Amino acid sequence: MSNSLAIATVTAALSAAVQKAAQQAVGGAEVVIGRPQNTPPPNAQRWVQLCLYQVMSNPSLRNNDLPTRDSAGKLTQRPQVALDLYYLLAFYGDENALEPQRMLGAVARDLHANAVLSRLAIQDAIASRVVLSGSNLDKAMEPVRITALPLNLDELSKIWSIFFETPFALSVAYRASVVLIETDDAVNPAPPVLQRGQDDRGVQTLLGSFPRLDKIYISFLADKESPERLPSLPNAWLGLFLTFQGQHLSGDKVSLIFSHPSLGIRTIVIPDTDRSDTDIRFELPNDVSVQTDWAAGLYTVTAVIEQAGSSRVTNQLSLPLAIKVNQIIPANPVVRIAGNVTLTVQCSPKVLVNQAARLLLGDREVTANPHITATDTLVFDIPSASVLSLQPVYIRVDGVDSLPFDRKDNPPRFVFADNQKVTIT
């Protein structure tokens, strides 16, 4: 906000900008502030008359500060007035040398190109006039913009009619907006904060801050410190790193709830070091004990945020968990016997009895041989197998495909895994 010197400061800054432009067009041109006169100013042969002819309230901001007092009549904020300033620029000089028109062209060009009074221009204007030494317009948050007014002949004649018996001169009008002026009244300070909510725990916002999960970023462990270094993997497998991104995820206790149609619900409490307000980080386990605790398929994941004795549950996201192919037997090349091939795939985690497992190889889709217990070894009989060369193998379990590739460094990239390619001769 600005003090009462703001209007005079705008006039001084605008005067300096107009004079600079006019002198570039016509040497020796001056700016005279005030209403147009019947007689030229002393020692003036060519000049621009700068006249502030009207001041009006800005329609957008005139009530922006209301109310300014509380129910007891105490001042809660300083009242401010928002003003638009209207200026008339009249050009005088030798008409035969087209001096008024040359000055008008230069002024119109510069005010259009520099339509905002910069802080430096305002500071120069304050420094050039002692009477403006107390102005603080250069610190105002809202800049003052200069806009040309599209006046027709009737509107222009009405403006000149207020200058009684003053001859008309070539002129244009501009608006300076917005000038905010506030009072110097002292505002009563707000009472100090003695306690921030119950037990000084802070304020718990109930509206607009519900926790939400937006997406899951699936990466290798090597990329967990630099999320999105590589594109997110489409499916996860045991041993990969999950980053759940969202909003309002911080709390006293944060848990991830994994739900699988065959295994039920699994709850994982996330340590403080692996979570923030915008993300939750979790490494999928990959030791011997989890080979039957987790299974391939489609999980639903939610987060539970506990704060100040209450719990909030986020929306659900889907997490496709694939098996990891560890080895394919026999080793390449696989020789057909009577045109047939049998492939044994060792994988993790174990495939449950009620899960459907299929092998996708080339243009063939083959169902795994039946098994009576959860197993990490799948056997596929491929009749009339085609001749293939280093063809990637996909194992689809409950609709989720394995990913036949690994991560390589220098530069980081994905490449097809050699142990998941099959050559049939």
Q: Are 382 and 364 in contact (CB under 8 A)?
A: yes
ω into residue 100 within 30 of 0, thus cis?
A: no
Q: Which token pair is 261? A: 């149609």
pLDDT at 202 over 80: no
Q: Which residue has the tokens 């016509």?
A: 26
- CA-closest candidate to residue 322, choices 220, 421, 398, 256: 398
Measure the CA–CA gap between 162 and 404, rounded to whole angstroms. 86
pTM score of the predicted model: 0.51
Q: How confident is the model at residue 18 (pLDDT cuts 50, 70, 90)?
A: very high
pLDDT at 210 over 90: no
- Model confidence pLDDT, tens digit, residues 326-362: 999 999 999 999 999 999 999 999 999 999 899 999 8
Confidence (pLDDT) at 66: 66
- If one compares 414 and 333, the residue with the highest pLDDT of the two is 333
